């Protein structure tokens, strides 16, 4: 019989945790990941579910279109670098109740614990993305990306400024995130307020910056969500290197160049962000 860690969805989840740690984005317990499971995956995992699931816990938010869905989630206070070594201790599968306002743990976190402290943000983001993509999006990923965090100290905290800087710091960025990126001002993490602010922006963007904190990315699968995180962070890093060089910027990608890219690669750029 298969084991839990041989199931593709679980394998992909664990791989992303390891990759993110190796990128330097997950100091200590920083960052978190959730995946909205397909019915076929729930079926595969069901033999491993505990006979006596945990109690229902209120979420503080309601995500009615996620009624009775199952999520793989990192655990609150757990370290990304430990996920691959001990998945049963570090991650869990949670089931949502009928109303979409409470969850219970059906597998994992064998030594106790709860899903990520950002579970409300993840679920509201899932809710928005599920509706906007007709169910295609399944991954929400939060990382403490150093260059994006650094940028949030020196750029005005608006989506237009961030999107233009990131689009222009590496040629393929506008193709990867043609909508640009959203920006949430500094807020206390972990609660329903930052969850609501984030999910409002997720209606428009696949990537949002949390000022002085990190980045949230959404995608249909692990590769795309991780790739988006990687691209946004790399572009921010390049911009920081340009500024750190202390040299004058002699040339950059122009708005006309952006339009040419959009045309040749058949993407529609967010017009609000073009001059």
Q: 79 or 103, CB closer to ligand 2HA?
A: 79
Q: Is 29 in the site for ligand 2HA (CB under 6 A)?
A: yes
Q: Find the catalytic residue in 8, 118, 200, 248.
A: 118
Which residue's Cβ has the minimum distance to ligand 2HA?
189
Site for ligand 2HA, residues 146 to 185, rule: CB under 6 A = none
Q: Which stretch binds ligand 2HA (CB under 6 A): 30-38, 92-100, 101-109, 125-133?
A: 30-38
Q: What would the x/- binding string for ligand 2HA be over residues 105 to 124, using CB under 6 A?
A: ------------xx------
Alpha-carbon span 82 to 26, nearest angstrom: 11
Alpha-carbon span 167 to 48, nearest angstrom: 44
Nearest CA to 241 out of 130, 150, 128, 114 is that of 150
Q: What would the x/- binding string for ligand 2HA be over residues 188 to 227, using CB under 6 A?
A: -x--------------------------------------
Minimum CB separation from ligand 2HA for residue 75, in Å? Answer: 10
Q: 119 or 239, CB closer to ligand 2HA?
A: 119
Per the annotation, the verdict on 44 as an active-site residue is no
Alpha-carbon span 192 to 8, nearest angstrom: 31
3-state secondary structure 180-228: CCEEECCCCCCCHHHHHHHHHHHCCCCEEEECCCEEEEEECCHHHHHHH
Q: Please work out the total of residues on this chain that contact ligand 2HA, with binding judged by CB under 6 A.
A: 8
Q: Is 90 in the site for ligand 2HA (CB under 6 A)?
A: no
Strand pairing partners for 40? none
Q: 89 or 255, CB closer to ligand 2HA?
A: 89
Q: Is 32 in the site for ligand 2HA (CB under 6 A)?
A: yes
C-alpha distances in Å from residue 241, one per residue of 36, 151, 236, 245: 36, 11, 9, 6
C-alpha distances in Å from residue 64, one per residue of 10, 69, 99, 119: 25, 10, 6, 15
Residue 197: partners with Cβ closer than 8 Å, 6 or more residues away: 184, 187
Give the residues lining the site for ligand 2HA (CB under 6 A): 29-32, 117-118, 142, 189
**What positions carry a catalytic annotation?**
118
């Amino acid at each position: 019989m298969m084991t839990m860690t041989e199931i593709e969805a679980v394998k992909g989840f664990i791989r992303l945790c390891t990759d993110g740690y190796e990128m330097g984005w997950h100091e200590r317990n920083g960052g978190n990941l959730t995946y909205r499971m397909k019915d076929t995956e729930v079926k595969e995992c069901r033999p491993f579910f505990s006979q006596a699931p945990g109690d229902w816990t209120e979420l503080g938010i309601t995500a009615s279109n996620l009624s009775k869905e199952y999520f793989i989630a990192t655990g609150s206070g757990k370290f990304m670098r430990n996920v691959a070594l001990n998945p049963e201790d570090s991650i869990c599968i949670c089931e949502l109740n009928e109303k979409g306002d409470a969850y219970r743990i059906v597998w994992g976190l064998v030594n106790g614990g709860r899903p990520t402290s950002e579970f409300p943000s993840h679920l509201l983001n899932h809710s928005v993305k599920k509706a906007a993509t007709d169910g295609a999006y399944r991954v929400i990923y939060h990382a403490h990306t150093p260059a994006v965090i650094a940028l949030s100290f020196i750029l005005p905290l608006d989506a237009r400024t961030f999107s233009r800087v990131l689009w222009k710091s590496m040629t393929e960025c506008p193709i990867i995130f043609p909508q640009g990126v959203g920006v949430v001002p500094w807020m206390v993490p972990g609660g329903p307020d930052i969850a609501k602010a984030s999910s409002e922006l997720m209606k428009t963007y696949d990537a949002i910056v949390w000022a002085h904190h990190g980045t949230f990315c959404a995608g249909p699968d692990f590769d795309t969500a991780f790739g988006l995180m990687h691209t946004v962070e790399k572009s921010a890093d390049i911009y920081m290197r340009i500024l750190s060089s202390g040299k004058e910027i002699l040339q950059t990608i122009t708005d006309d160049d952006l339009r040419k890219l959009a045309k040749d690669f058949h993407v529609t750029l967010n017009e609000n962000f073009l001059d």
